Amino acid sequence: MHQMNNPTLLGTISSVSSSSATVELSDSVESGVVILEGQNYRVGQVGSFVKIPLGYNKLYAIISGSSESGKIEEQETISPDRRWIKIELIGEIVGGEFERGISEYPNIGNEVHIVTDSDLSKIFGERLQDHFEIGTLSSSDSIKVSLDLNKLVSRHSAILGSTGAGKSTSTASILRSLVSGQDNELKLPSARILLIDIHGEYSSALSDHAKTFSIDSPHNKLFIPFWCLSPESLIDFLFGTLNESTRALYLDKSVEERKHAINANNLDDIDPEKITNRTPLPYRIKKIWHELCFEDTVNWEDKDKTIPAYKGDEKGDFEKLSPPRFLPPGAGQNSPFKGGQGLLRKQLDLMKSRLIDTQYSFLLDPGPWNPDKDGKIEKDLGDLIKDWLGHDKPITILDLSGMPSARLSLLLGAILDILFETAIWGRNSISGMREKPLLLVLEEAHRYLSKSENGLAKSMVQKIAKEGRKFGAGSMLVSQRPSEIDETILSQCGTIISLRINNSTDRSIVKSAMSEGLSGIIDSLPILRTGEAIIVGEAAKLPTRCKFTELPEGKYPNSKDPDVYQSWRKEKTNEDYSELILAWRKQSIN
């Protein structure tokens, strides 16, 4: 009877606890499909919405689980099965507007109804200026899903999903939707999005809205000036292990070199007495190597050690990484007199090998940011920041695919360090990130944010996650292994976008980041379709199962798996590996 008069009726509330409630389904409600307003609705689907009319108010909830039980009466007759669904209360409509949270609880016996598209349009249909559409509800293609841009950026977010779930495609779709909307017309010309691309996947997908910097690019070459790095990290990279006295000597020499840069580059506004080894000023790193070689190997012609006993004219050349040569010490009290102890030969050889290794030239020989023999640079740090953030495109892609993977944490950490210091010291500047916020998109986050990792990248991401909001820097982590990411960092993500996750350990991490009542929704993660996600958190109006907008033709990330069958079925041909070997030797794929 109820079902005929109320085609939307599901059942009645049988218990209420905290933010959850249990609904006993009406006997007349059959599982399957109900046709309402010309649309098909599946009854009792986990993740779908229901409403509870309470006078002038309507409470809204999401189905988080279902169960079924039968019992045998004393007369040993079997009663019809009783069926329940569990719902999680999420919001209400008061006076025609939807609001998160509830002002009153339902009572036992209150009716629970299916939510139709006309109901959903009241919740999702409001077009707020600071929201952007990313796709449609999985349960209804006519209902658009949008995210709050302010909260997505400032409160941080994470895109999680197993390999093959569509992470790269979904990330590209979200970023494209953010800056250009569904019509591909640029909506946010002053957007600042910097994407760390570990595998070189995104240039093809975002080429019309992004400028790509790459180590191998002949035009937009990626440079990370060594003099911007944390001095401790740079020393560890250059020397390996180094005793404290030599470490202090290197730092002292770098400070003197930085002071020299003030005069060499006419930086009259900087007080030399306030220069430290962390001041981002250029210095001649090859000259420091040469001076360390001198002090480690020098012999003296006089006992007062004022005249070096050079071997002929071999004073060396720091520009050519040619070390000074000295006459061997004389016998007994005869000159030359021994000076250096020769204890740093191994470390200095390692430093020289780093300086001449072409795969590190983007760092140790950073083009116009590398000081010449007089300490002068063609471009300063402001030019680097402008290159990265001040161009005419809303997205910057830093393609790190050509970087040595063993040094990923150091090099990525250096990039993040430069950007975070820019955010801190530019907080009162019109070019700073408080005036023009920055979204950092970090691909393959599990590689450098694991619990066991203690590198520079992890340290910088932790700082950005904890303090970035105050300075206008937000982060978006993209990872296939959330269980490997440090919990402290993941807990700072206010919005979780979870694609298909097959691994139970990874699912449990996602589940722990959401409210207890939504666990049933997370259990559906293994069966999500490619490019489909569950979105929860501050940027989403409601916990939502969403199908992302498809990318335009030819704008997919370069992350497609090789077609093994088509490749292996071709006729065998003569193969020339000379080009491959040349690229390997030149350390360049171009």
Q: Higher pLDDT residue, 58 or 542?
A: 58
pLDDT confidence band for 1 (50 / 70 / 90): very low
> Which of 6-15, 336-345, 467-476, 571-580 is predicted with the least confidence, judged by mean pLDDT?
571-580
Let me know: does 486 contact 451? Beta carbons within 8 Å: yes
Kindly report, residue by residue over 234-260, the tens digit of the pLDDT: 999 999 888 899 999 999 999 999 999
Kindly report, residue by residue over 20-33, the tens digit of the pLDDT: 899 988 877 766 66
Alpha helices in 517-568 (DSSP H): 519-522, 564-568
Let me know: does 120 contact 140? Beta carbons within 8 Å: yes
* DSSP characters over 354-411: HHH-GGGHHHHS-GGGS--TTS--SS-HHHHHHHHHSSSSSEEEEE-TTS-GGGHHHH
Residues 161, 165, 170: CA angle, nearest 5 degrees: 85
Return d(Cα 147, Cα 166) in angstroms, integer. 19
> Which of 40-49, 148-157, 365-374, 537-546 is predicted with the least confidence, judged by mean pLDDT?
40-49
Kindly report, residue by residue over 432-464, the tens digit of the pLDDT: 888 889 999 999 999 889 888 888 899 999 999
Q: Report which of 319, 325, 320 is spatially closest to residue 294, judged by C-alpha positions.
A: 325
pLDDT confidence band for 79 (50 / 70 / 90): very low
Classify residue 485 by its DSSP letter: B
Return d(Cα 425, Cα 85) in angstroms, integer. 54
Q: Is the pLDDT of residue 426 over 60?
A: yes
- Write down the pLDDT at residue 463: 92
Q: Report which of 235, 229, 216, 214 is spatially closest to residue 354, judged by C-alpha positions.
A: 235
Average pLDDT rounded to a whole number, residues 356-374: 92
- Write down the pLDDT at residue 542: 80
Average pLDDT rounded to a whole number, residues 183-188: 79
pLDDT confidence band for 416 (50 / 70 / 90): very high
Return d(Cα 203, Cα 554) in angstroms, integer. 11
Residue 350: count of CB within 10 angstroms of its CB: 17
Return d(Cα 448, Cα 559) in angstroms, integer. 20
Kindly report, residue by residue over 372-391, the tens digit of the pLDDT: 999 999 999 999 999 999 99
Tokens of 482: 């959330």
Backbone angles phi, psi at 503, to 5 degrees: -75, 125
Which residue pairs, CB below 8 angstroms and at least 24 apart, start in 139-143? 139/41, 139/42, 139/45, 139/47, 139/48, 139/545, 140/39, 141/547, 142/117, 143/117
Q: Is the pLDDT of residue 152 over 90?
A: yes
Percent of the chain scoring above 90 in pLDDT: 37
- Write down the pLDDT at residue 5: 57
Return d(Cα 524, Cα 507) in angstroms, integer. 10
Q: Is the dihedral of CA 570, 576, 579, 581 positive or negative?
A: positive
What SS3 state is found at 326?
strand
Kindly report, residue by residue over 254-293, the tens digit of the pLDDT: 999 999 999 999 988 888 998 999 899 999 999 999 999 9
Kindly report whether the peptide bond that precedes residue 189 is cis, defined as omega within 30 degrees of 0. no
